[in-house]
Amino acid sequence: MISNNEEFISQLADKYGRNRESLLPMLQEVMDQFYYLNEDCMITIAKELDISTADVYGTASFYSFLDTNEQGKHVIRVCQTIICDMKRKEDIIDAITELIGIKPGETTHDGKFSLHYTNCLGACHKGPAMLINDEPYTELTPEKVKDILVSYMKK
Ligand code: FES
């Protein structure tokens, strides 16, 4: 019997084609669906594209927007690159930690939020910046970030 994961990945391969160039968009779609890339999915993708599992895992672990560990429903990524760093990104991290009780690299017990550092989001002139899932937030202050997170708590 084919598992749902295998069926889903087979459909992705039909959509993108069974070649190496399809790897990144397929990984992104698995992320969108499951919030992280589990081992079974990576093995199935390797089989579908006829490439090595190491190749899939290497790509998955290279990009900061791809996670190989289980993530919360809302993944917060705070830019740690130099401009945001100079604009006190640590105050943003502290405000998040104070409100939801996790540090970078952690997930809340209820599975609602994960927190990570990321590299430049291309919004340097409006730093400090962060992403929640695919949504960018800029010109952050500790107060602003708390209001944003409260709105996500209700989702
Ligand atoms: S340095 Fe943070 S968005 Fe570019």
Sequence ranges of the domains in the chain? 4-62, 74-153
Q: Please give the distance, rounded to the nearest whole angstrom, from the Cα atom of residue 33 to the centre of ligand 1.
A: 27
Q: Please give the distance, rounded to the nearest whole angstrom, from the Cα atom of residue 8 to the centre of ligand 1.
A: 35
> Taking the domain 74-153, which CATH number applies?
3.40.30.10
User: Which residues sit with their C-beta closer than 6 Å to ligand 1?
Assistant: 79, 81, 83-84, 120-124, 127, 129
CB 101: neighbour CB atoms within 10 A?
12
Nearest atom, ligand 1, residue 80 CA: 2
For domain 4-62, the CATH class is mainly alpha
Q: Please give the distance, rounded to the nearest whole angstrom, from the Cα atom of residue 78 to the centre of ligand 1.
A: 9
Q: Collapse the DSSP code of 85 into the 3-class scheme (helix H, G, I; strand E, B; otherwise coil) and give the result.
A: helix
Q: What confidence score (pLDDT) does residue 3 get?
A: 59
Omega into 128 within 30° of 0, i.e. cis? yes
Q: Please give the distance, rounded to the nearest whole angstrom, from the Cα atom of residue 103 to the centre of ligand 1.
A: 20
Tokens (6 digits) for 53: 């599992």
Which positions ≥6 away from 137 have C-beta within 8 Å? 129, 130, 131, 144, 145, 148
Nearest atom, ligand 1, residue 126 CA: 3
In tens digits, what is the pLDDT along the chain, a chain of 155 residues?
445 689 999 999 999 999 999 999 999 999 888 878 989 999 999 999 999 999 999 999 888 788 888 889 999 999 999 999 999 999 999 999 999 999 999 999 999 999 999 999 999 999 999 999 889 999 999 999 999 999 999 88
